[in-house]
Structure 1
Amino acid sequence: MISSSNKSTSSGTTSENKAALGRRTFLKSASLASLSAAAIYASSCTDHNGNPIPDGTVDLGSGDVGILNYAYALEQLEAAFYTQIVATPYSGITSQELTVMTDLKNHEVAHRDFFKTAISAAAPSLVIPSLEVNFSAIDFTSRASVLATAKAFENLGVAAYNGAGKFLKTPVYLLLAGKIVSVEARHAAIISTLLEGFNGQFTGGQVDANGLDKAMTFAEVLPIAQTFIKTKISGVNLPK
């Protein structure tokens, strides 16, 4: 909402400037800009055996760029999901639940836009396009369907970041991944609480006997995500 107050407008502008400065500082400190975009692009058009990626398939790429595109794809999926929930709230949604869903939407949109900005600034020819989602299996009028899907998405996101982190070569990207995965874990906890109540299951069954959250490989995550993404995506060039 736009306020007619000059003071409020000034404060909002200052906050936006600080956010923009933070993004510029991050991009300046990252080392992706020093990579050879041409070399990465050549590898992203073929698989590990040199075979062409099928037409119509979006290849995520390789190295740190590929991992950032991987995260960007998942954030696109989550942002689209929560945007749909807020636009068409499920039947019986409470004001508290709508507030939670709006917060989650804002976080995921911020994550999505941040990754797009980061990759576009460092290697503009390698950023993947906007993906077309497929939510036909979700009943957005049903609280149970929406929350169950939200739980699955958030747990998948946490496990995806946990599994991808070890492959990142640029320290600032590893720091970024750690900051984002912690937010995704907070999302997973609140969704589990909304879905199951305070019955000790706020972790969603994702924490093992050692108190550690699950980690999943690229090969495990992408087929699950692909179920909800109409655009075909390939991760064959991601680190092994």
Structure 2
Amino acid sequence: MYAAEEQAKGKPASVPRFSASRRNFLLKTGGISFASALVLAASGCTDNDAPNGGSLTPPNTTAIDLGSGDTGILNYAYALEQLEAAFYTQVIATPYSGISDAEKALLTDIRDHEVAHREFFKTALGSKAIVALKVNFSSINFSDRTSVLGTAKAFEDLGVSAYNGAGHLISSPDYLTLAGKIVSVEARHAAYIRDLITPGSFSSNVDSNGLDISAAPTDVLKTAQTFLTSKLDGSHLPS
């Protein structure tokens, strides 16, 4: 009923619910209320902000332009969520040697969250969403626990630092609130992965003030690009 009413008003219908967590650690952190809020807030997304800021790749005919203003930031987040979703999908499709049932269950929950985040951004951006990205995971040995968890740690830390670093670039208060909800989930993922690698190390990626690390889009995209065949152009993102 809600979806039909939204479509009648010219708004996108609510995105489908993905599987809920099977452990209290991740219980419902990808909740449907967040999805609805993101879709409704981002349905009015515009490119009115003037382009500015540093670039990852000079504009050309082959690179995928993320865009400018809040639309650019949402596409920036969408690109990172695509990367994480693809990684965890592969992790679950080809579990590493010796994976326990508990590890597989919680890594499956993380996969579901990342897929949900990816779909939230895709639906919210609509026709302004960038295309599906092609990944390059040739440097990852998916049969080896150390390789998989080390990469997962790198991706989660990258995601948290990306949202932290992009917060001040967002013009819309609604988008900023939603970014805060996403980064809190990503931080839970990061803490869990760290504890899988070294028990008790869940909070080891904070500074002397007890704050998470932040990174500028240009730095984040350079790192993300090493796992992508698709080329990204972040030259029009705000800074």
TM-score, normalised relative to structure 2 = 0.81
Give the structure 2 partner of residue 195 of structure 1.
Answer: 197
Pair 207,105 (structure 1): closer, same or farther in 2 beyond 3 Å:
same
Once the 2 structures are TM-superposed, how far is the Cα of residue 29 of structure 1 from its aligned partner?
Answer: 4.0
Pair 47,26 (structure 1): closer, same or farther in 2 beyond 3 Å:
closer
Residues 150-201 of structure 1 show CA distances to partners (whole Å, capped at 9, x for unaligned) of: 0000000000000001111111111110000000000000000001112xx2
1:239 aligns with 2:238: yes
Give the structure 1 partner of residue 152 of structure 2.
Answer: 150
Amino acid corresponding to residue 135 of structure 1 in structure 2: F
Counterpart contact for 1:32–1:65, Cα < 8 Å: no
Give the structure 2 partner of residue 82 of structure 1.
Answer: 88
- Cα separation, 2, equivalents of 1:86 and 1:75: 16
Amino acid corresponding to residue 223 of structure 1 in structure 2: K
Give the structure 1 partner of residue 161 of structure 2.
Answer: 159
1:55 aligns with 2:61: yes
- Cα separation, 1, equivalents of 2:194 and 2:53: 38
- Cα separation, 2, equivalents of 1:133 and 1:139: 15
Map residues 126-137 of structure 1 onto 2, 5 A cutoff: 126-137=128-139
- Cα separation, 1, equivalents of 2:76 and 2:54: 17
Pair 25,93 (structure 1): closer, same or farther in 2 beyond 3 Å:
closer
Bigger share in helix: 1
- Cα separation, 2, equivalents of 1:27 and 1:162: 21
Q: Which residues of structure 1 form unaligned runs of 5+?
A: 1-14
Pair 209,66 (structure 1): closer, same or farther in 2 beyond 3 Å:
same
Q: Which residues of structure 2 form unaligned runs of 5+?
A: 1-15, 18-30
- Cα separation, 1, equivalents of 2:43 and 2:132: 24
Residues 61-104 of structure 1 show CA distances to partners (whole Å, capped at 9, x for unaligned) of: 11000000000000000000000000000000000000011000
CA RMSD across the alignment: 2.6
Once the 2 structures are TM-superposed, how far is the Cα of residue 24 of structure 1 from its aligned partner?
Answer: 4.9
Q: Percent identical across equivalent pairs?
A: 54
Amino acid corresponding to residue 214 of structure 2 in structure 1: A
- Cα separation, 2, equivalents of 1:24 and 1:133: 28
TM-score, normalised relative to structure 1 = 0.80
Counterpart contact for 2:43–2:124, Cα < 8 Å: no
Give the structure 1 partner of residue 72 of structure 2.
Answer: 66
Q: Which has the higher contact order (CA 8 A, sep 6+)?
A: 2
Query: Aligned to 2:64, what secondary structure does the other structure show?
Result: strand
Counterpart contact for 1:47–1:53, Cα < 8 Å: no
- Cα separation, 1, equivalents of 2:37 and 2:210: 34
Runs of 4+ more than 2 Å apart: 19-33, 46-49
The structure that has the greater radius of gyration is: 1
